[in-house]
Chain A
Amino acid sequence: NAGVMQNPRHLVRRRGQEARLRCSPMKGHSHVYWYRQLPEEGLKFMVYLQKENIIDESGMPKERFSAEFPKEGPSILRIQQVVRGDSAAYFCASSPLGHRENTEAFFGQGTRLTVV
């Protein structure tokens, strides 16, 4: 049973380009969380999705960032018109159950985005 798969592991984008980060949850998991870790900081919650639904996007910047988790395929975190401040490690986590069931989430290895 493969773990949470994130790709690419490393992504370099020039300012103004788009970045697409992919996350395939563990088999049987239908809940996905995205976190961002800026240098020297802890992980910060961005968005929580179930299949085809955004449940909580309270941690997402208001502009340029979007996320989806389609019925088929991986979850995608999309950053439009990237700026240097978007450089960070982006982690995806998945769990089989959602609200209040006290099940831990399993994290992927992350995508390290560098904006040059």
Chain B
Amino acid sequence: DQQVKQNSPSLSVQEGRISILNCDYTNSMFDYFLWYKKYPAEGPTFLISISSIKDKNEDGRFTVFLNKSAKHLSLHIVPSQPGDSAVYFCAARPIGGATNKLIFGTGTLLAVQP
């Protein structure tokens, strides 16, 4: 039962353009959503998060949008840079759960072409 889904296993984008990574969830009982970035042979690194009471959070080149009615969130990276090439995981925190007890999606591999 995959509660957090990333349906695109990979995405290729030209340097300087926008990268849009998508994530869907099936359960309304999440109160916090996060995006992590992972390079090969390294652990995930926290990128940006959003509370379920918000619909947008921005941090530099990274913006996360949350559409609760559609149970959908997306990560926008503008402009994309070759160093952004990595696997991106979205994660959700169940209401009432511990801060970092998260449910992860399967990840999207982003390749930014120079």
Q: A residues near B, CB below 8 A?
A: 4, 6, 31, 33, 35, 40-45, 48, 55-56, 91, 93, 95, 97-110
Contact = CB atoms under 8 A, between A and B. Distances in A.
B43 A55 contact: no
Give the size category of B's interface with A: 20 to 34
Interface in B86-114: 89, 91, 97-107
A45 B43 contact: no
B4 interface: yes
Nearest to A32: B100
Nearest to A97: B99
18 contacts: A6-B43, A31-B99, A33-B98, A33-B101, A41-B106, A42-B4, A42-B104, A42-B106, A45-B102, A93-B43, A95-B100, A100-B99, A102-B99, A104-B100, A105-B99, A107-B36, A110-B41, A110-B43
A101 B99 contact: yes
Contact of B98 (A35, A44, A55, A104): A55
Contacts, number: 70
A48 B107 contact: no
Contact of A56 (B41, B46, B98, B105): B98
A107 B99 contact: no
Contacts of A45: 101-103
Interface string B44-56: 1110010000000
B59 interface: no
A44 B104 contact: yes
